[in-house]
Chain A
Amino acid sequence: MSLWYLVIAMTRISDSILPAPHQVAFEFLDKYALLVRHTLITLQEVALGLLVGVPLGVASAVVLVWSPALERAIMPWVVFLQNVPKIVVAPLFVIWFGFGIGTKIVIVCMLVIFPILVTTIVGLKSVEPDMLDLIRTMGASKWQVFYKARLPGALPSFFSGLKLSATFAAIGAIVGEWMGADAGLGYYLLVAQHNVQTKALFASIVLVAVIGLLLYQLAVVSERVLLRWHVSVREEETRRVRA
């Protein structure tokens, strides 16, 4: 923050290029209602994208782990698709799904699914072979093996994926809005850029970051509640108790 002020003082840079932090803060107060409106729209897109994308990612992981043949057939294509930058296919989605919220949700989904899919697959597969043997001697059905052993064991991996997805999701919504929108932080960013409203740009950047942070924290909190037994959470708790 002081560095920021120092740069401004030394270079006498115009506030239309680099506004000072307090100017950005005033921007929040000035345009409060407007910023909140756009933020809520972007947040809605991100949330809906996650609500559709995360279950879809988990469900696909379950199906692929259930059937190794399907995994061999499909996984190479998933990896191939993942390597197509999403921004390149975004215009296509606009043609398919229009300028409404649908396009934004689809783009968020695409960004969210891959990390969830990959980490959940790893998690579902990481049951100890001895545990599988043991539970088979108990006469467990395939379903019991799945929800007693595989599913709880997959949670730590799943949460790594969820944390990645939470930070990617905002990118998807912004890209979607850039393709065509009449509201949302992505839209607001474009308008601000067009009018060289640097303060408004900074304010939007902060808000996009806040959305990402918020979702990440949400993932962290649910992880702490659900994974009390896991070594990563335990270590964290011990440190906090000591501190």
Chain B
Amino acid sequence: MARAIELHDIGMVFASRQGSVHALDEVSFGAEAGEFLCIVGPSGCGKTTLLKILAGLLFASTGTVQVNGESVRGPISNVGMVFQSPVLMPWRTVLDNIMLQVEVRNLDRGKYRQVALGLLQLVGLAGFERKYPYQLSGGMQQRVSICRALIHDPALLLMDEPFGAIDALTREQMNLELQRIWLDHKKTVVFVTHSIPEAVFLADRVLVMSARPGRLLKVFDVELPRPRTLETMAEPRFSRMVTHIRREMQAHGGLE
């Protein structure tokens, strides 16, 4: 069986008026179905670019991308995406924002309405379906965007620093929720983050990238048992792993 995702020798050069920018260089990795990958790296190392290439929203200058054994030649659709900002439509209610996914895909609205309500329950937003985004906190809005990414039950979930703009307490909560959702649904997840502890907490494997041009420096297997809890973060092997990854990044000038 083909791997869920497979990137081979990805290179990316952006041409701009100030000259060309070498964003990614020879990045290769893959993931099995149901695997949780975290990508950490310094700002501007091309993490977002990598995610967009994977989604088929950008075309790599060199290299090949496969999702479920098929070459990516345009936007892939068996995917859910979550960005750093919630990207909700301010004129739609919470429920209608989630249903956008269903409407655009021409799925059965009646059936998926129930799915949407179930997902809202799952992320602790039951009763908020008729609210508008502006009536919700940043953390709640981001949960709505996660529901929108999950409603069509995609095989692949791409998350680009989804909790980057959320306060530390809510962030821990969101990490727990995300882990729970993932344990329930067993999707392949590629999760980009700045936070090494977050990556170690969530991932099966942590991919460490270098500063521009982004290269894959090292891959760490995280063998902490699941479900991980807030106590997991207090364990010595957790902090050992975090320190280990931080040293790796420092060694390559990735952290100031």
Contact = CB atoms under 8 A, between A and B. Distances in A.
A138 B83 contact: no
Interface stretch (B101-109, B114-122, B166-174, B177-185): B101-109
A137 B79 contact: yes
A137 B134 contact: no
Nearest to A152: B91
Contact of B87 (A134, A139, A148, A229): A134
Contacts of A138: 77, 100-101, 104-105
A75 interface: no
A130 interface: yes
Interface residues of A, number: 22
Contacts of B76: 137
Interface string A127-139: 0101101111111
Contacts of A234: 134
Contact of A229 (B75, B77, B85, B132): B132
A29 interface: no
Contacts of A144: 104
B134 A139 contact: no
Contacts of A130: 83, 85, 87
B77 A139 contact: yes
Nearest to B77: A139
A158 to B, nearest CB: 13
A89 interface: no
Interface of B: prevailing SS: loop
B77 A134 contact: no
B87 A128 contact: yes
Given A148-B100, A149-B89, A234-B134, A137 B83 contact: no
A133 B55 contact: yes
A221 interface: no
A130 B149 CA distance: 14
B225 interface: no
B57 interface: yes
A231 interface: yes
A63 interface: no
B7 interface: no
B236 interface: no
Nearest to A234: B134
A214 interface: no
Contacts of B90: 229-230
A140 interface: yes
A139 B77 CA distance: 6
B156 to A, nearest CB: 10
A151 B15 CA distance: 31
Contacts of B134: 229, 231, 234
B207 interface: no
B81 interface: yes
Contacts of B57: 133, 136-137
Nearest to A149: B89
A139 B75 CA distance: 7
Q: Which 10 A-B pairs have the closest CB atoms?
A: A138-B104, A139-B77, A136-B75, A229-B91, A130-B87, A130-B83, A140-B104, A152-B91, A229-B90, A133-B57
Given A136-B75, A230-B90, 15 more contacts: A130-B85, A133-B52, A133-B81, A133-B83, A134-B81, A137-B55, A137-B56, A137-B81, A138-B77, A138-B104, A138-B105, A140-B104, A149-B89, A155-B91, A231-B134
